[in-house]
Structure 1
Amino acid sequence: MALLDKNIVEQLKGYFNNINGNIEMVSFLDDSEKSKELDSFLTEVDAISDKVNYTKKTFGSDADFEKMHNITRPISFTLLKDGKKSGINFNGIPGGHEFNSFVLAILGLAGMGKKLGGEQLIKVESVTKPLNIETYVSLSCTKCPEVIQALNIISMANENITTSLIDGGVFTEEVTQKNIQGVPVVYINGEKASVGEKTIEELIDIVTNA
């Protein structure tokens, strides 16, 4: 059964065909049902345009690649632009309100989305240490996409920054372990850094002071 609506596919075709270069979605899967669902989702996206392509890996089969891209869970994928690390990862299937975050990440990497400039860019470029940003969300959360999209834009501006969406509905054990009561919750290098709705200015301050 197709996961993407025909009208959405046609819209994406128009966007994706204007991409310069190549965007690659690299998945890391196990034998779970959710991994099969993610595989189907990315396969459908791959079929939309030859500018956006899909590569499937088994989680744990390429340790060096996973380490480089901060991949620590199965049922996940990372985005590459022209074969290079983007710093943008998704853990789970970016459906619901996060589908737009997924599409905007692809368009952003292709140079067709929002970019940082001025003081914002100077601040983000000043980060010299590796930052692994993980944001727990719910796909029904209306305030989560704004945080995810802002962090993706921040990550695109500095190769030291990796940002990962984590669907709390898939990784329920982590949610329980961390006692997460509401989303979005942002962790930076394993430490809780932000809870709830934030502007991009606030997130830049949080990231640059981490």
Structure 2
Amino acid sequence: MGLLEKQDKIFLQEEFNKLANEVKINLFMSENDCIYCKDTKMILEEIAEISDKIKLSVFDMDKNKDIANKFKVERTPATILEGEKNNLVFYGIPAGYEFSSLIEDIIDLGNNDFDISEELKKFAETLDKDMNIKIFVTTSCPHCPKAVRTAHKLAMIAPNVRAEMIEAQEFPDLSSRYNVSAVPRVVINENTYFEGALPDRQYIEKIKEAI
């Protein structure tokens, strides 16, 4: 039995039929200590079955360390949408509210038409230094997708930005390290923290603090 409802598949088929370009998805799994790897694989396989424009590759992180290193994978399950810098990352199962983040990323990449405000686009084009943005979420958080999508949109425009969604409950060690007590919690370059799905202008100001 699949994880996606029939009406979800119909909607996705309509959206994916509009894709102009192929979208490559890479999933990194592990046989050890990865509770959600199988469910993540099932979700991505069902998505890939809907359209031949979506290509899914699945790797065992331990058996494909060279590929994992290329994509800078540090934990599993890791879903990475392939692009110029392979910088759109989902650590943890992209389910619940975060399913929409994944689908919207796929649509943006497939159409090479990013749903981004002019203010955020102009700012992203000025970013010339490497930057890491971690967005801690839970799949039941309705406000988290906006925080994830803002970071991922930045990464789509600025290839030196790596934006990583992290499912806080799946990775309690990271949640503890970054003092996650509420979500979304955003960590920029390890030195700037904030909580909430901020409007673009405030998000930009926080990034400026980090750099």
Tell me how far 1:109 sits from its aligned partner: 1.2
Distance 2:123 2:70 in 1: 24
Residue number among 48, 53, 62 corresponding to 1:51 in the alignment: 53
Percent pairwise identity: 25
Q: Secondary structure at the match of 1:37?
A: helix
**Which position in structure 2 is the counterpart of 1:124?**
124
**Which segments of 5 or more consecutive residues in structure 1 lack a partner in the other structure?**
none
> How many residues are aligned here?
207
Counterpart residue identity of residue 10, structure 2? E
Tell me how far 1:129 sits from its aligned partner: 1.3
**Deviations along 1:77-115, whole A, 9 cap, x unmatched?**
10014xx43421101111111111111111111235413
- Note if 1:40 corresponds to 2:42: yes
Q: Secondary structure at the match of 1:2?
A: coil
Q: Secondary structure at the match of 1:132?
A: strand
**Which position in structure 1 is the counterpart of 2:193?**
193
- Check conservation: 2:92, 2:170, Cα contact below 8 A: yes
Distance 1:138 1:192 in 2: 20
**Deviations along 1:20-46, whole A, 9 cap, x unmatched?**
121011011001331111111111111
Distance 1:14 1:112 in 2: 17
Q: Where do residues 1-210 of structure 1 align in structure 2 (5 Å cutoff)?
A: 1-31=1-31, 32-63=34-65, 65-81=67-83, 84-110=84-110, 111-117=112-118, 119-210=119-210
- Check conservation: 2:185, 2:195, Cα contact below 8 A: yes
TM-score, structure 2 length as denominator? 0.89
- Check conservation: 2:137, 2:167, Cα contact below 8 A: yes
Stretches of 4+ moved more than 6 A in 1?
Answer: none
TM-score, structure 1 length as denominator? 0.90
RMSD: 1.9
Counterpart residue identity of residue 89, structure 1? V
